[in-house]
């Protein structure tokens, strides 16, 4: 069983919402759509569900063309950011409602409701009304109503965005377990790279209506196909600096140097963009290979155990995420350090030329 998109696109009023996209999602897989707001995640989900018709291309379900098929005739369930429950009904009746609409017998309905409620830890709440539940319990109720349909495709459109931190963490842990128990194709949209890494499975990165890369989540994170994917799969977005490779040496911004070993040794001499993630910047030299950069400090943001530092290096703006609480003076000159093992190189077209050495060893 699979969902296949063949050259699917969507334009509205002459404006492309989704550029031609081909994807195959296999049965029993978790698939994350990762991208910033307005990247096209919801638009792509609506095409998968049959809520919108593609401008071009075909959608196949289990090998059958369902491009023009109504959403009511598909085995699809969708859960949104908002808690969509019937407030006058009990949790039991909310979960049962899709099966009753399908004309299932009372025995079938009862068995399915209780099995799904047990899976989602809702059994003690079956006789309560949704407004008597916590936010996380309400979202689990909405998810249970989607799962009880026995849908082969479950679409989750940023379902945890409106929950507080504790509830988000709780459900992030539960969703992979729920997914494994259901056996359906799950598609989960998020703006957060950390959420994609936690959920695992496969990730499709989206940018301005285009899928830039699709594959196993750890691979897409460690070996982004291009600079756009690297930006999308980094929070804060990946930092960049001009660089050049000459023989056995890398030069960053015409000043700092590092040996061109490992994957860097295999690429041609020339000009590149070096990319590195915020968490790989340090304020102290932890490695003999680390490269030093003198930067101007903008502002700092203390998160508790970590500090975001906003930096200017020449014409480049960088963000670092460093461990510990650091009270630094805005406008001051600071030294930062970067281990070349965490540096990616991208060519003039933005394509990955050499992955970071640490990614090859992982």
SS (H, E, C) 130-167: HHHCCHHHHHHHHHHHHHCCCCCEEEEECCCCCCCHHH
175 Cβ contact list (under 8 Å, min separation 6): 156, 186, 188, 199
pLDDT in the model for residue 70: 81
pTM, full prediction: 0.89
Q: What fold is seen in the domain 236-361?
A: OB fold (Dihydrolipoamide Acetyltransferase, E2P) (2.40.50)
pLDDT in the model for residue 81: 73
Nearest CA among 29, 28, 20 for reference residue 47: 20
Give the full edge-to-edge strand order of the sheet including 239-246.
256-259, 249-252, 239-246, 270-276, 344-346, 352-354
| Structural domain spans, the chain | 2-228, 236-361
What Cα–Cα distance (Å) separates residue 296 from each residue in 230, 237, 322, 331, 336? 25, 19, 16, 6, 10
The CATH number assigned to the domain with range 2-228 reads: 3.40.50.300
pLDDT in the model for residue 241: 96
Band of pLDDT at residue 357, cut at 50, 70 and 90: very high
Mean pLDDT of 44-66: 94
Band of pLDDT at residue 116, cut at 50, 70 and 90: confident
pLDDT in the model for residue 1: 66
Mean pLDDT of 190-200: 92
pLDDT in the model for residue 105: 94
4 Cβ contact list (under 8 Å, min separation 6): 23, 24, 25, 59, 60, 61
Mean pLDDT of 126-132: 94
Query: In 80-209, where do the E strands start and end?
Result: 153-157, 185-190, 202-207
20 Cβ contact list (under 8 Å, min separation 6): 7, 8, 9, 56, 57
Alpha-carbon gap, residue 211 to 233, rounded angstroms: 13
Alpha-carbon gap, residue 135 to 297, rounded angstroms: 40
- More confident site: 18 or 169: 18
Mean pLDDT of 245-257: 92
Band of pLDDT at residue 349, cut at 50, 70 and 90: very high
Instruction: Give the torsion sign (CA, 275, 279, 284, 286).
Output: negative
- More confident site: 160 or 302: 302
Share of the chain above pLDDT 70, in %: 99
- More confident site: 127 or 14: 127
The DSSP H or E segment spanning 241 is: strand 239-246
Mean pLDDT of the chain: 91
pLDDT(43) > 90: yes
70 Cβ contact list (under 8 Å, min separation 6): 50
Alpha-carbon gap, residue 231 to 237, rounded angstroms: 5
Contact 337, 286 (CB under 8 A): yes
Query: What phi-psi label fits residue 171: left (phi over 0), alpha (psi between -120 and 50 degrees) or beta?
Result: alpha
pLDDT in the model for residue 362: 64
pLDDT(163) > 80: no
What Cα–Cα distance (Å) separates residue 38 from each residue in 150, 191, 205, 207, 208? 30, 10, 13, 8, 7
The DSSP H or E segment spanning 117 is: helix 106-119
52 Cβ contact list (under 8 Å, min separation 6): 10, 43, 46
Alpha-carbon gap, residue 4 to 76, rounded angstroms: 14
The DSSP H or E segment spanning 182 is: helix 165-182
Contact 214, 204 (CB under 8 A): yes
Contact 321, 236 (CB under 8 A): yes
pLDDT in the model for residue 180: 73
Mean pLDDT of 295-317: 92
Bridge partners, 344 (sequence order): 275
pLDDT(166) > 80: no
Mean pLDDT of 52-68: 93
């Amino acid at each position: 069983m699979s969902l296949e998109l063949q050259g699917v696109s969507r334009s509205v009023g002459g404006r492309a919402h989704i550029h031609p996209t081909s994807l195959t999602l296999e049965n029993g897989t978790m698939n994350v759509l990762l991208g910033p707001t307005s990247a096209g995640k919801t638009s792509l989900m609506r095409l998968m569900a049959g809520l919108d018709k593609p401008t071009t291309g075909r959608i196949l379900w289990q090998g059958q063309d369902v491009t023009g098929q109504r959403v009511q005739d598909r085995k699809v369930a969708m859960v949104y950011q908002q808690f969509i429950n019937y407030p006058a009904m009990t949790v039991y009746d909310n979960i049962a409602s899709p099966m009753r609409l399908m004309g299932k017998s009372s025995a079938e309905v009862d068995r399915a409701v209780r099995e799904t409620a047990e899976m989602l830890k809702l059994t003690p709440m079956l006789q309560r009304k949704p407004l008597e539940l916590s936010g996380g319990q309400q979202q689990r109720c909405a998810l249970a109503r989607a799962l009880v349909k026995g849908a082969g495709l479950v679409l989750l459109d940023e379902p945890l965005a409106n929950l507080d931190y504790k509830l988000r963490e709780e459900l992030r842990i539960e969703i992979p377990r729920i997914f494994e128990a259901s056996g359906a194709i799950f598609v989960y949209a998020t703006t957060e790279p950390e959420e994609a890494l936690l959920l695992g499975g496969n990730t499709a990165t989206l940018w301005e209506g285009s899928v830039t890369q699709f594959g196993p989540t750890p691979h897409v994170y460690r070996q982004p196909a291009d600079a756009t994917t690297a930006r999308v799969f980094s929070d804060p977005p990946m930092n960049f600096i001009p660089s050049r490779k000459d023989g056995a040496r890398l030069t960053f911004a015409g000043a700092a140097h590092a040996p061109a070993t490992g994957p860097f040794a295999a690429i041609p001499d020339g000009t590149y963009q070096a990319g590195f993630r915020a968490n790989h910047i340090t304020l102290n030299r932890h490695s003999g290979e680390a490269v030093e950069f003198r930067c101007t400090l903008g502002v700092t943001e203390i998160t508790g155990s970590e500090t975001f530092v906003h930096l200017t290096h020449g014409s480049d703006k960088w963000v670092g995420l460093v461990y510990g609480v650091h009270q630094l003076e805005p406008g001051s000159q600071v030294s930062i350090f970067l281990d070349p093992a965490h540096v990616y190189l991208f060519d003039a077209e933005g394509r990955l030329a050499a992955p970071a050495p640490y990614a090859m060893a992982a």
